[in-house]
Chains A and B, each alone.
Chain A
Amino acid sequence: MSDPTSGQTPPGAADPAGPAGSRRATGPKHRADPKDTPGPAGPAAQAQIDPRLLVREQGFAGYVGEFKRRMHSGELGSLPVVVGLAVIWVIFQSLNSQFLSPQNLSNLSVDIVATGLISVGIVFVLLLGEIDLSAGAVSGACAAVLAVLHVNEGWSPWAAVAAAVAVATALGLVHGLFFAKIGVPSFVVTLAGMLAWTGLQLWVLGPNGTVNLPYDGLIAQLTSTYFNQVIAAYGLAALAVAGFLTVSMVGNARRRAAGIPFRTTGDVILRTAGLAIVAFGAAYVLNQYKGLPLALLIFLAVVVAADFVQRRTRYGRSVFAVGGNIEAARRAGVNVAAIRISVFMISGAMAAVGGIFAASRIASASQATGQSNVLMMAIAAAVIGGTSLFGGRGTAYSALLGMLVIQSIASGMALQGVSNSIQFMVTGAVLLAAVVIDSISRRSQKAAGRA
């Protein structure tokens, strides 16, 4: 629309007495009355800042106030899952001291990757308020495509990976077109896709039903490579902390310069310290075993990138807008069909990447790849992690957090020798709890709104 450097405020809106100085100015509650003060200068000069207006409380009181507000208005985000994860870890560690052992945690960190990558794509779809039931089948079909092209047809691993992801993106395009252009509900389109692409998987694999990947090949190495130099894990942790600190400081400096609320230095230090404890703690544990797993590194990079796209780009903002109110998005000039189609393409592509990691983990693509509970786990992870089923609320990090919860339960139960049956039931209960939290927070958000 208009040049971002030119003022977009209406005529007469120039307000050089900007908020920098007056940001925290208080004054008697007074509504500017234009009848008393005609002329363009009137309202701007008259406007008093409401004590509540646009001021973010700072310091400890600010946290408490913000937390209360979030509780009240149902914006808990990832808080329940973090608490839940801590509880799960305490319980399983008290049952079996092997649970928090470096070996178990390291394996856990690799086991979450394949389904977690699928879940990242699911988060995008859930943000739209839609569902992709085909993700498991697409991941299996594309793992099959990869294995057949690489092993049977002799393609280079990179070419085979690229082909598998391209096929999945095309399948996502098909779902997106049927959904966005013809108006078939996403539930039905992707249910049909689930059946059709499972068939495709069986057809590609042929009569044998299994294609083994070379153990020392590039694809198997995706999940078998560990950077065992101590510096790798610590270096990544240091990079993450330094990156976070830099982004916070630069953002804060810009906010301060613009005269809008910024975090206090203490706040930034606190957050950075929190991240540092988690990052260096994880690095320490990983170094106790084999070092930093390549698969985990890739997964974290994908999650960070997805989060960046969702929260920092116009595309991501449009996804949230379509998930929040389609009509508002359309009137604001968002190309709703393009957003919907592209999201299903992302979901397809992420399903393929997840399928590739699943095949890598067991060094084969089979009829079982991506089948049974993979799809349900990917959706459950996103929801458990705090992404709403109702659209418009969520974050890419929920794929990581939700998978940690699910895999922790699986791993803890396996250590206890609990059968699969119980494991499914517990995971189901956790999912239900997550959906209940989601539903309640949605309801309290509605209640808080339009008061």
Chain B
Amino acid sequence: MAAMPEGTAGTPVLALEGISKRFGAVQALSEVDLEVHAGEVVALVGDNGAGKSTLIKVIAGVGPADTGEIRWEGRPVTVTSPGAAQGLGIATVYQDLALCDNLDVVGNLFLGRELRHFGVLDEVAMEKRSRDLLHTLSIRIPSVRIPVASLSGGQRQTVAISRSLLGRPKIVLLDEPTAALGVEQTAQVLDLVERLRSQGLGVILISHNMVDVKAVADRVAVLRLGRNNGVFDARGTSQEEIISAITGASDNAVSRRRARSDSPKEATDE
């Protein structure tokens, strides 16, 4: 990827430092650091309950951190509301897509920010921009004028992601975008993630699927029990190493299974 090396070299678009967040008795995040550069896909992985969604909500302004610093293009910022995050250029696609099934694709893409023409909805401009956007992202759907209820899961996911792009974000947060999808539809979404990267956007991708992670991510950040447990270069790291970091030990059920058929490998932190 042409954009990647220069991206990682410069100032990260988004940098988190020492993020902690607590829910009552649960310390969901402690001292978490994370960096995302332009044109880079960072996979955020970790076991269930590791704090991935909590971290996404911190960045998206839905559930601000208790302590820690967020820097946007080098400047410290406070992200205390979804509006503030969107204002900076952070777009979030939640696990539950939140599309209106009864509205068509154009209606969903522009929901809450409809274009108007003398106070009246400008369907022509919205349809044109929707088509241009989908065209640019090579997204195929039969028509932008059918209700999203009649789209497949993968198409709905791509509509949800496209929707987040209308605000011209610099960072896109995707929470398990492929969790409910089949093989072909997963490939569609991963293609789209790669297109976002090639257009210079930073992407944080949560996924439990190591194959997907290895396929599209540039770096893999592992969370374990609310703490950083290593950031790996996706190309130069084996799946076993990442899994070890996720589960917290080289001696675990996954690696023991591997060891029986394969030569065992030690986990390394960074």
Total contacting residues, chain B, CB less than 8 A = 69
Q: Identify B156's interface contact among A69, A259, A393, A450, CB under 8 A.
A: A450
A2 to B91, CA, bound (A): 14
Q: Which of A182-204 contact B (CB under 8 A)?
A: none
| With contact pairs A18-B132, A19-B132 given, residues A12 and B143 touching in the complex (Cβ less than 8 Å) | no
Q: Identify A449's interface contact among B101, B140, B169, CB under 8 A.
A: B101
Q: Mark B116-151, 1 if CB is under 8 A from A, else 0.
A: 100111101101110111111110111111111111
Q: Which residues from A are CB-within-8-Å of B128?
A: 19, 258-260
Residue of B nearest to A255 (CB): B124
Contact present for A75 and B201 (CB under 8 Å) = no
For residue A56, CB closer than 8 A to chain B, the reply is yes
Q: Identify B111's interface contact among A311, A328, A391, CB under 8 A.
A: A328
| With contact pairs A327-B96, A448-B149 given, residues A43 and B195 touching in the complex (Cβ less than 8 Å) | yes
Q: Identify A317's interface contact among B107, B125, B131, B151, CB under 8 A.
A: B107
Nearest Cβ distance between residue A202 and chain B, in whole angstroms? 40
For residue B19, CB closer than 8 A to chain A, the reply is no
Residue of A nearest to B86 (CB): A1
Q: Mark B88-104, 1 if CB is under 8 A from A, else 0.
A: 00000010111111110
A46 to B135, CA, bound (A): 10
Contact present for A258 and B111 (CB under 8 Å) = no
Q: Which of A31-73 contact B (CB under 8 A)?
A: 31-35, 38-40, 42-44, 46-50, 52-56, 69, 73
For residue A323, CB closer than 8 A to chain B, the reply is yes
Contact present for A321 and B100 (CB under 8 Å) = yes
Residue of B nearest to A259 (CB): B128
Q: Which residues from B are CB-within-8-Å of A449?
A: 101, 147-151
Q: Which residues from A are CB-within-8-Å of B3?
A: 38-39
Nearest Cβ distance between residue A115 and chain B, in whole angstroms? 26
Contact present for B116 and A35 (CB under 8 Å) = no
For residue B222, CB closer than 8 A to chain A, the reply is no
Nearest Cβ distance between residue A281 and chain B, in whole angstroms? 30
Q: Identify A258's interface contact among B2, B125, B151, B201, CB under 8 A.
A: B125
Contact present for B167 and A320 (CB under 8 Å) = no
For residue B166, CB closer than 8 A to chain A, the reply is yes
Q: Which residues from B are CB-within-8-Å of A53?
A: 134-135, 140-142
For residue A181, CB closer than 8 A to chain B, the reply is no
A54 to B134, CA, bound (A): 10
Contact present for B199 and A323 (CB under 8 Å) = no
Q: Mark B187-223, 1 if CB is under 8 A from A, else 0.
A: 0000100111111110000000000000000000000
Contact present for B103 and A320 (CB under 8 Å) = yes
Q: Which residues from A are CB-within-8-Å of B97?
A: 328
Q: Which residues from A are CB-within-8-Å of B63?
A: none
Contact present for B114 and A43 (CB under 8 Å) = no
| With contact pairs A13-B133, A38-B198, A54-B143 given, residues A260 and B103 touching in the complex (Cβ less than 8 Å) | no
For residue B260, CB closer than 8 A to chain A, the reply is no
Residue of B nearest to A46 (CB): B138
For residue A313, CB closer than 8 A to chain B, the reply is yes
For residue A325, CB closer than 8 A to chain B, the reply is yes
Secondary structure call for the A interface: loop
Nearest Cβ distance between residue A178 and chain B, in whole angstroms? 25
Q: Which of B67-118 contact A (CB under 8 A)?
A: 82-83, 86, 94, 96-103, 107-108, 111-116
Q: Which residues from A are CB-within-8-Å of B101?
A: 324-325, 392, 445, 449
Nearest Cβ distance between residue A130 and chain B, in whole angstroms? 15
Q: Which of B167, B194, B195 is packed against the most chain A CB atoms within 10 Å?
A: B195
Residue of A nearest to B153 (CB): A450
A449 to B146, CA, bound (A): 11
Contact present for B100 and A392 (CB under 8 Å) = yes
Contact present for B165 and A9 (CB under 8 Å) = yes
Q: Which residues from B are CB-within-8-Å of A73?
A: 146-147, 149-150
Nearest Cβ distance between residue A266 and chain B, in whole angstroms? 20
Residue of A nearest to B133 (CB): A9
Q: Identify B112's interface contact among A19, A32, A334, A391, CB under 8 A.
A: A334
Contact present for B168 and A11 (CB under 8 Å) = yes
Q: Mark B157-178, 1 if CB is under 8 A from A, else 0.
A: 0000000011111000000000
Contact present for A34 and B194 (CB under 8 Å) = yes
Q: Which residues from A are CB-within-8-Å of B121?
A: 311-314, 317
Q: Which residues from A are CB-within-8-Å of B191?
A: 31-34
For residue B252, CB closer than 8 A to chain A, the reply is no
Nearest Cβ distance between residue B163 and chain A, in whole angstroms? 9
Nearest Cβ distance between residue B97 and chain A, in whole angstroms? 8
For residue A8, CB closer than 8 A to chain B, the reply is yes
Q: Which residues from B are CB-within-8-Å of A11?
A: 168, 199-201
A327 to B101, CA, bound (A): 12
Contact present for B136 and A43 (CB under 8 Å) = yes
For residue A28, CB closer than 8 A to chain B, the reply is no
Contact present for B136 and A9 (CB under 8 Å) = yes
Q: Which residues from B are CB-within-8-Å of A32?
A: 138, 191, 195
| With contact pairs A1-B167, A53-B142, A73-B150 given, residues A328 and B195 touching in the complex (Cβ less than 8 Å) | no
A260 to B94, CA, bound (A): 31
Residue of B nearest to A14 (CB): B136
| With contact pairs A11-B199, A260-B127, A312-B120 given, residues A50 and B140 touching in the complex (Cβ less than 8 Å) | yes
Nearest Cβ distance between residue A267 and chain B, in whole angstroms? 15
Contact present for B137 and A323 (CB under 8 Å) = no
Contact present for B114 and A10 (CB under 8 Å) = no
9 residue pairs of the A-B complex, CB under 8 angstroms, read: A2-B168, A50-B140, A73-B146, A311-B121, A317-B107, A323-B102, A325-B100, A333-B83, A448-B149
A-to-B contact residues, CB < 8 Å: 1-2, 4, 7-13, 15, 18-19, 31-35, 38-40, 42-44, 46-50, 52-56, 69, 73, 75, 251, 254-255, 258-260, 311-314, 317, 320-321, 323-325, 327-329, 331-334, 391-393, 445-446, 448-451
Known pairs A1-B167, A2-B167, A324-B101 / 17 extra A-B pairs, C-beta < 8 Å: A11-B200, A13-B133, A15-B136, A31-B191, A38-B2, A39-B2, A43-B195, A47-B138, A258-B124, A312-B120, A312-B121, A317-B121, A320-B102, A333-B113, A449-B101, A450-B156, A451-B152
